[in-house]
Amino acid sequence: MTIKRLILVCALTALAACTSGGLNRSAGGVYAPGVAGEGDIDGLIVGHRLMAAGEYQLALDAYTRAAGQQGLNVDTLSALGSANLRLGRLGQAERLLRRAVAEDAGFAAAWNNLGVILMEQGNGFTAEGRDRTAHAEKLLATRAGKTYSLTVLAGATLYSSAEPCAMCAGAIYWAGIGRVVFGQTEVALKAITGDNPENPTLDLPCAVVFEAGQRPTEVVGPLLEDEASALQADYWGSRG
């Protein structure tokens, strides 16, 4: 079994939390403050609204203005990283998120500025009675599918230290989780585990599994692969 720690993040819930400061918005639309009094407007709030509307470049512009006003702190760095991630600029996103983590390693929003953690899950090999199918992603997908609607999970992101295997990708798809972000690829994991009977790694990209489905599942990764690989290497080294 691979050693993984997963979190399931839902952007939808977090966006509701972002509105709690009393800002008004028109019915049926995404509210973003206009240019009047721009110096008093929090660019992070504007950016969050634009991210919700799918306007990622405009959100990045708003976050950039916020960084100019507030400086490059953990909030602005994580926001800039999130926007770049949505724009597919993985290298820039990784550099910004590294800086955010360096500012505050315990700041979860550095990994998903708009998200709140819905669930966490570790591997269940021992807890599930030495069940070789009790991978963390599969267990989390099962729990999530029982707990949340398809509408909620379509806006959720599953974060994993290693790419989900074919079995887990199938579980993620059937649960309806809309997005997966992973660190280390299955190919790189296989290079570490080899033919270890505890983890005969399936060398199949999870994107191939998702592409065979009838609803979209976004895949982002690999990210922070060196750190993710170190985690796996330490674990499998201790198993030798």
- For every residue of 143-161, DSSP letters joined together read HHHHHS-HHHHHTEEEEEE
For the segment 169-193, the average pLDDT, to the nearest whole number, is 92
| Residue 113 DSSP code | T
Q: What is the per-residue pLDDT across 91-120, written as a single tens digit (0 to 9) for each?
A: 788 788 878 878 886 665 565 543 456 788
Contact by Cβ (8 Å): 121, 6: yes
For the segment 196-222, the average pLDDT, to the nearest whole number, is 91
| Residue 54 DSSP code | T
DSSP 3-state assignment of 130? Answer: coil
Confidence check: pLDDT of 139 > 50: yes
Does 164 sit behind a cis peptide bond, omega within 30 degrees of 0 on the bond before it? Answer: no
Closest C-alpha among 78, 107, 109, 151 to residue 14: 109
Q: What is the pTM for the complete model shown?
A: 0.58
For the segment 39-64, the average pLDDT, to the nearest whole number, is 89
Instruction: Give the residue numbers annotated as catalytic, written as ranges.
Output: 137
For the segment 220-231, the average pLDDT, to the nearest whole number, is 88
Q: What is the per-residue pLDDT across 21-44, written as a single tens digit (0 to 9) for each?
A: 333 333 344 434 444 344 557 889
Most confident of 10-14, 127-131, 136-140, 224-228: 136-140
Confidence check: pLDDT of 163 > 60: yes
- What is the predicted pLDDT for the residue at 110? 62
33-47, 68-82, 136-150, 160-174: least confident range: 33-47
Compute φ and ψ for 4, nearest 5 degrees.
Answer: -140, 155
- What is the predicted pLDDT for the residue at 215? 94
Contact by Cβ (8 Å): 164, 172: yes
- What is the predicted pLDDT for the residue at 55? 94
